[in-house]
Amino acid sequence: MRKLAAEAFGTFALVFAGTGALIANHQGAVSHVGVSLTFGLVVLAMIYAVGDVSGAHLNPAVTLGFFAARRLPRHWVLPYILSQCVGALAASGVLRLLFQNHPNLGATLPAGAALQSFILEVLLTWLLMFVILSVSIGPKEKGVLAGIAVGAVIAFEALFAGPISGASMNPARSLAPALVSGRLDSLWIYLTAPVLGAVLAVFTCRCVQERPCCRGGFKEQCA
C-alpha cells in the first residue's frame, strides 16, 4: 500500500502543479517557460521524495515501459496505473473546485493535425523512457542525478513541443483534466502515443544500453 499511496500522491502533485501552472498561465501570468519548468521540477521533486518507495513512475506509460523491460512484476502494473489515475483525477477535481470557470483545466490538446501530435507524443515519450531506463535500477530511479536527468528531459521537451502537442507523455496527466472538464476530443492521442513510445524505448535501450536492459530477463535476447 505504501507503493500505491506514493504513486497516487506523486501523480497528484504532478497534475496539480503542472496543470495548475497551465491554468495560471491562461492570462499569460506564468509563461510557457514557467509551465515547462514547473512540470520538470515537480517530477524532479517527486522522484527524490517517493522514488525509494515506488520508483516515482507517476505515469502509466512509464509503468508499462518498466513492465515491458521486465523490471516490474506483472502484478504491480494495474495497481500502479489505477493509483496514478486516482491521484491525477483527485488533482483535477481540486483544480475544478478552485477554478470553476476555466474551460479545460489544463487538458492536453493538439495545436495542429492529430497525426502530427500523435507522432510527436510517441517520439517525446520514446526519449523520456529511454532516459528513465538508462538512469534507473530495476523499476526505480536511483542515484543523485536521476531526478535531475528525468526532470530536465520533461522540461526541455515541454519547452519545444508544448505549443504543438502539449507534450503530455503521460496518459494519466491527460486523462484527468479531460474527464473533469469534459474535453475528450483528441484524448485518444494521449492515451495511446505515450504507451507506444515507451515500448519503443525498451527496444532502443536493448541496443544502446545493453547491460541495464539485460537486467531482469533480457540477457539471453541481448546475447
CATH of the domain at 32: 1.20.1080.10
Please, are residues 88 and 176 in contact by the beta-carbon 8 Å criterion? yes
Q: Which residue's C-alpha cell is 513492465?
A: 67
Q: At what angle do helices 2-24 and 171-181 cross, to 10 degrees?
A: 60
Cell matching residue 13 = 502533485
Within a domain: 51: yes
Q: Please tell me the total count of domains within the chain.
A: 1
Tell me, yes or no, whether 223 lies in a domain.
no
CA distance between the termini of the chain: 37
* Domain assignment present for 15: yes
Rounded distance, CA 73 to CA 214, Å? 15
pLDDT digits (tens, 9 = 90+) for 73-128: 999 999 999 999 999 999 999 999 999 888 899 999 999 899 999 999 999 999 99
Q: What per-residue confidence (pLDDT) applies to 138? A: 61
Res 205: pLDDT: 87
Residue 34 has pLDDT above 70, yes or no: yes
Residue 177: pLDDT band (50, 70, 90) is very high
Residue 8, phi-psi category: left (phi > 0), alpha (psi -120 to 50), beta (remainder): alpha
pLDDT in tens, 118-135: 999 999 999 999 999 988
Measured distance CA(170)–CA(147) in Å, rounded: 17
Residue type, 61: A
Neighbours of 100 (CB within 10 A): 8
| In a domain? residue 221 | no
**Mind listing the pLDDT tens digit for each residue in 39-63?**
999 999 999 999 889 889 999 999 9
Please check whether residue 222 lies inside any domain of the structure: no
Residue with cell 525509494: 52
pLDDT surpasses 90 at 202: yes
pLDDT value for 210: 63
Quote the CA–CA distance of 136 and 84 in Å, as a whole number.
19
Tell me the residue range of the domain where 26 lies. 2-216
Q: Whole-model pTM? A: 0.89
Note whether residue 201 is domain-resident. yes
User: What's the grid cell of residue 83?
Assistant: 493509483
Average pLDDT over residues 188-207: 94
pLDDT, greater one: 221 or 70: 70
